Amino acid sequence: MFSETLEISLSLEISGKLCEIPGGNVQLFELDLYPYGFRGRVGFGVLLDATEVDELFEPFITHDLITVQFQVNRTDDLLDDSPKPVSVKGLVTEKSMRETEYKEVKKEKVLCRYYEVWFQDGPSMLWRQHYPVALYTEKTIADVVKEQVAENILFEIEKGILEDMPDMVFLGLEKRIEGPCFYDFLMWLSWFRSVVPVYDYEAQKLKLIKTKKDADLTGEVDNFLYPNEVDDILIQFPETVRHDTRLLNAYFDPEMAQTIDKFQDQKLDYSQAAEGITQDIVLRTPREEDLDKRKELETNIFNLFEEKLLFEMNQFPSRTCLIGYMLKLDGNHWAKDRFIFGKKYRVYEIHMSGKAEDENLSGNYNNEYAKYNMEMSIRLEPETCPQIHFPTFKSPNYPVFVEGKIVSEVGEETDKTYQFYNNDTTSQDEYTVYVPLWDLNIKAPFVPGIFTGHFYFPAFRDARVLLALYFDHAEILRFLDWGQGSRLPMDTQGNHILFGKNADSQTSMRHVYDNGKPELTIERTSDKDTELIQIKEETIIIQTRDKEE
pLDDT digits (tens, 9 = 90+) for 172-212: 998 877 889 999 999 999 998 889 999 999 999 999 999 88
Average pLDDT over every residue of 103-109: 62
pLDDT digits (tens, 9 = 90+) for 222-281: 667 888 899 999 999 888 888 888 888 887 766 654 344 444 556 666 677 788 888 888
pLDDT digits (tens, 9 = 90+) for 340-377: 888 889 999 999 999 999 888 878 888 888 899 999 99
Whole-number pLDDT of residue 465: 95
Which of 37, 390, 376 has the alpha carbon at shortest distance from 205?
37
Torsion angle of the four alpha carbons 258, 264, 270, 274, in this order, in degrees rounded to the nearest 10: -110
Beta strands 155-157 and 205-209, pairing class: parallel
Beta strands 244-249 and 278-283, pairing class: parallel
Whole-number pLDDT of residue 50: 57
Q: Lowest mean pLDDT of 143-152, 280-289, 420-429, name the range.
A: 280-289
Burial environment of residue 351 by CB neighbours within 10 A (0 to 12, 13 to 18, 19 or more): middle
- Which ranges constitute the DSSP H helices of 175-269? 182-192, 260-264
Q: Residue 533 pLDDT more than 70?
A: yes
Whole-number pLDDT of residue 215: 59
Alpha-carbon separation of residue 538 from 84, 324, 514, 541 (angstroms): 101, 90, 13, 10
Q: Does 367 or 12 have the greater pLDDT score?
A: 12
Q: How far apart are the first and last CA of the chain?
A: 105
In whole angstroms, how large is the CA radius of gyration of the chain?
A: 34
Whole-number pLDDT of residue 258: 39
According to the per-residue pLDDT averaged within each range, which of 52-56, 422-426, 515-519 is highest?
A: 515-519
pTM of the model: 0.88
Whole-number pLDDT of residue 214: 60
What span, in angstroms and rounded, lies between the C-alpha atoms of 423 and 435?
19
Which of 117, 319, 363, 109 has the alpha carbon at shortest distance from 227?
319
Helices (H) and strands (E) in the chain, counts: 6, 31
Residues with Cβ < 8 Å from 115, sequence gap 6 or more? 43, 44, 45, 46, 56, 60, 95, 96, 97
What span, in angstroms and rounded, lies between the C-alpha atoms of 199 and 89?
12
- Asked whether 23 and 6 are in contact (CB, 8 A), the reply is yes
Res. 103 pLDDT band, cuts 50 70 90: low
Strand order in the sheet with 155-157: 155-157, 205-209, 196-200
- Asked whether 329 and 225 are in contact (CB, 8 A), the reply is yes
CA 273 from chain centre, in angstroms, equals 31
Q: What is the DSSP letter of 364?
A: S
Instruction: Kindly report the backbone phi and psi dihedral angles of residue 273, in degrees, each rounded to the nearest multiple of 5, phi listed first.
Output: -70, 145
What span, in angstroms and rounded, lies between the C-alpha atoms of 231 and 312?
5
pLDDT digits (tens, 9 = 90+) for 405-425: 999 999 888 889 999 999 887
- Read out DSSP for 15-51? TTEEEEE-GGGEEEEEEEEETTEEEEEEEEEEE--SS
| Adjacent-strand bridge partners of 20 | 11
Whole-number pLDDT of residue 208: 96
According to the per-residue pLDDT averaged within each range, which of 271-275, 330-334, 487-491 is highest?
A: 487-491
Q: Residue 2 pLDDT more than 80?
A: yes
Average pLDDT over every residue of 316-335: 84
Q: Which amino acid is at 361?
A: L
Torsion angle of the four alpha carbons 374, 120, 386, 398, in this order, in degrees rounded to the nearest 10: 140
Sign of CA dihedral 255, 261, 265, 268: negative
Q: Residue 81 pLDDT more than 80?
A: no
What span, in angstroms and rounded, lies between the C-alpha atoms of 457 and 486?
14
Q: Which amino acid is at 266?
A: Q
Res. 297 pLDDT band, cuts 50 70 90: confident
pLDDT digits (tens, 9 = 90+) for 434-488: 999 999 999 999 988 778 888 899 999 999 999 999 999 999 999 999 988 899 9
Q: Lowest mean pLDDT of 145-149, 301-305, 342-346, 405-409, name the range.
A: 301-305
- Asked whether 408 and 433 are in contact (CB, 8 A), the reply is no
What span, in angstroms and rounded, lies between the C-alpha atoms of 182 and 133?
10
Alpha-carbon separation of residue 268 from 238, 271, 292, 367 (angstroms): 20, 10, 12, 60
Instruction: Kindly report the backbone phi and psi dihedral angles of residue 298, in degrees, each rounded to the nearest multiple of 5, phi listed first.
Output: -65, -35
Res. 304 pLDDT band, cuts 50 70 90: low
Whole-number pLDDT of residue 262: 47
